[in-house]
Structure 1
């Protein structure tokens, strides 16, 4: 059953609509990640759930209870901010205990809660220090500890890792995932980092310009993007979006790519989406993830449909566990993900295999997926 429900949510500042009819829900114990570019409305959506921003219209329910008009203190939520928002004059222990002290929680109970979260977050040795004596990662753990002692119905995280360096972000990401697995609390988490979204979420909501573009599991978002924006935004490296033309091959269809100064490449499309027949003789955008374009020896043996073409390699980028090769199709650079030891050289023509079961097609006019 859905635990957090957001129904047709609208938020305007004056005449400017920030959130435009957002509808989504998450089950109890779920991990919902709101993702999208800067200015897409994800932090505003989080603030409306928290009660820090009033909504213009729509409905928010937590545990079946309508909270639209409830004060933030009555919503049973806890928030972890990007800036940590710790009191600089208080010790770690005092920061963690402050909210409990305000609510009149007895001192023995406060001390036990502090000890429990300190053990959970491995910050017991920091309890007597001030925030100025802590690293960024330690401050973030303290901010999380202050939220955890609340034992709320919902945790809200607003880009909590964006101030940390790359390695520490990965470490903290793992800690947050481990914490969620242990506690099973419902979490709503805002980030612009789609890798963070993919690794943490049970459900992802992709926002653009205040409009919910797609809502689903990480696998659904990654493998079945509903439009070109989601396809391009989710994934690193991003999905290759290649201009192409749909042709005929007897009773079947082909996807054809122009190449500057070289013969076109034509691939037979087996099991095409039913709507693709209507694009025969027309332009489409062909979407293929880098891992679905690789050297023949590294191709997925379980793929039901593959096609190999000889392609001119322009750039080779060794990346440790993988090698990335860039070719050109339809006037665009296309990235292939090869095995680390793949024997490929720039300036040469090399066979590359497309996993056609992992490819998608988009209408260039609407940018929506062709089904």
Structure 2
């Protein structure tokens, strides 16, 4: 049964529709990440759950209780903000305990709660310091501690790592993941960083212009994007999206990709669905992730459908554990992810393996996935 339910949610500012009918469900203990580009409506959606923004229409329910008209203090939620929002004149312990003090929690209970979250977040040695004496990562831990001591039904995070440097973001991401696994809390988390979304979420909601583009598990979003926007937005490097033609051949359906100064590359399409077969002779968008396009020795041997083709390499980018190579197919630059020791050089033609199990196809007009 869903623990957090959002149905038909709309939000309008004046004549502008910000959220255009959002439907989401999250199980108890789930980790929902709202992701999308700036201005897509993700923070507005989070604020409607928090009660910081009213809704125009629709319903928000937590554990079966409708919370639409409830004051934020009555919703049994806790929020961690991007800016940390710590009281500068209070110590770390004071910041963590302030909400409990306002609610009249006894001093002994406050002290016990402070110690528990301080031990959990490894900030016990910072309890007597002021926020100005803390690093960005330490401040974020204090903000999380202040939310944790409330033990609410739902935690809300509004881009909590965006002010941190790259390494600290990775460290804090791991801490949040560990915290969720330990406490089994229900979390709604906003970010524009799709890597954060993929690594943290049990469910992802991808938003664009106030419209829910896709809702599913990280694997569903990554491997079976519902449209070109989701395919392009989720993944780093992004999915290769190539202009192609589907053709019938003696061996069945095949995808044809133009190559500069060479004949078109023909790749067989195994187990084509009826919907894909109806596109024979038509233009399509052929999508393939960089890791599904690699050197033959590095290809996935469990793949049911592997095809190879010669490609002219334009750029080589060593990246430590991998080597990225750029070629051109279907009139687009294409990124292939190769082994670190692939020994490939720019300007040469090399054989690449296509894992067609991982290929997806989109209608170029509607931009929706065909198969």
Do they fold alike, i.e. is TM over 0.5?
A: yes
Please give the secondary structure, in 1, of the residue aligned with 2:204: strand
* Residue aligning to 1:179: 179
Q: Aligned partners of 2:349, 2:327: CA distance in 1, in Å? A: 10
Q: Aligned partners of 1:324, 1:144: CA distance in 2, in Å? A: 38
* Residue aligning to 2:347: 347
Pairing 1:194-205 to 2, within 5 Å after superposition: 194-205=194-205
> Is residue 155 of structure 1 aligned with residue 145 of structure 2?
no
1:294-329 per-position Cα deviation (integer Å, ceiling 9, x unaligned):
000000000000100011111111100000011100
* Residue aligning to 1:250: 250
Query: CA shift at 1:171, angstroms?
Result: 0.1
* Residue aligning to 1:124: 124
Query: CA shift at 1:261, angstroms?
Result: 2.2
* Residue aligning to 1:28: 28
1:270-317 per-position Cα deviation (integer Å, ceiling 9, x unaligned):
112321122122110000000000000000000000100011111111
* Residue aligning to 2:357: 357
Which segment is superposed worse, 36-45 or 243-252? 243-252
* Residue aligning to 1:335: 335
Q: Aligned partners of 1:13, 1:57: CA distance in 2, in Å? A: 12
Q: Aligned partners of 1:279, 1:363: CA distance in 2, in Å? A: 9
Query: CA shift at 1:75, angstroms?
Result: 0.3
Pairing 1:282-297 to 2, within 5 Å after superposition: 282-297=282-297
* Residue aligning to 1:107: 107
Please give the secondary structure, in 1, of the residue aligned with 2:172: helix
* Residue aligning to 1:367: 367
Q: Aligned partners of 2:79, 2:36: CA distance in 1, in Å? A: 20
* Residue aligning to 2:78: 78
Please give the secondary structure, in 2, of the residue aligned with 1:286: strand
Query: CA shift at 1:193, angstroms?
Result: 0.3
Q: Aligned partners of 1:27, 1:205: CA distance in 2, in Å? A: 14
1:205-228 per-position Cα deviation (integer Å, ceiling 9, x unaligned):
000000000000000000000000
Q: Aligned partners of 1:322, 1:262: CA distance in 2, in Å? A: 28
Q: Output the TM-score relative to the length of structure 1.
A: 0.99
What 5-or-longer segments of structure 1 have no aligned partner? none
* Residue aligning to 2:95: 95
Q: Aligned partners of 2:317, 2:88: CA distance in 1, in Å? A: 46
Please give the secondary structure, in 1, of the residue aligned with 2:255: strand
Which segment is superposed worse, 270-279 or 16-25? 270-279
Q: Aligned partners of 1:15, 1:251: CA distance in 2, in Å? A: 55
* Residue aligning to 1:190: 190
Please give the secondary structure, in 1, of the residue aligned with 2:278: helix
Pairing 1:255-266 to 2, within 5 Å after superposition: 255-266=255-266
Q: Aligned partners of 2:194, 2:329: CA distance in 1, in Å? A: 26
* Residue aligning to 1:306: 306
Please give the secondary structure, in 2, of the residue aligned with 1:98: helix
Query: CA shift at 1:263, angstroms?
Result: 1.5
* Residue aligning to 1:315: 315
Q: Aligned partners of 1:313, 1:261: CA distance in 2, in Å? A: 13
Please give the secondary structure, in 2, of the residue aligned with 1:279: coil
RMSD: 0.7
Q: Aligned partners of 1:72, 1:272: CA distance in 2, in Å? A: 51
Q: Aligned partners of 1:118, 1:158: CA distance in 2, in Å? A: 22
Please give the secondary structure, in 2, of the residue aligned with 1:190: strand
Q: Aligned partners of 1:263, 1:347: CA distance in 2, in Å? A: 18
* Residue aligning to 1:41: 41
Q: Aligned partners of 1:273, 1:324: CA distance in 2, in Å? A: 32
Please give the secondary structure, in 2, of the residue aligned with 1:351: strand
Q: Aligned partners of 2:273, 2:303: CA distance in 1, in Å? A: 17
Q: Output the TM-score relative to the length of structure 2.
A: 0.99
* Residue aligning to 1:221: 221
Please give the secondary structure, in 2, of the residue aligned with 1:324: strand
Q: Aligned partners of 2:349, 2:132: CA distance in 1, in Å? A: 57
> Is residue 62 of structure 1 aligned with residue 62 of structure 2?
yes
| Alignment coverage as a number of residue pairs | 371
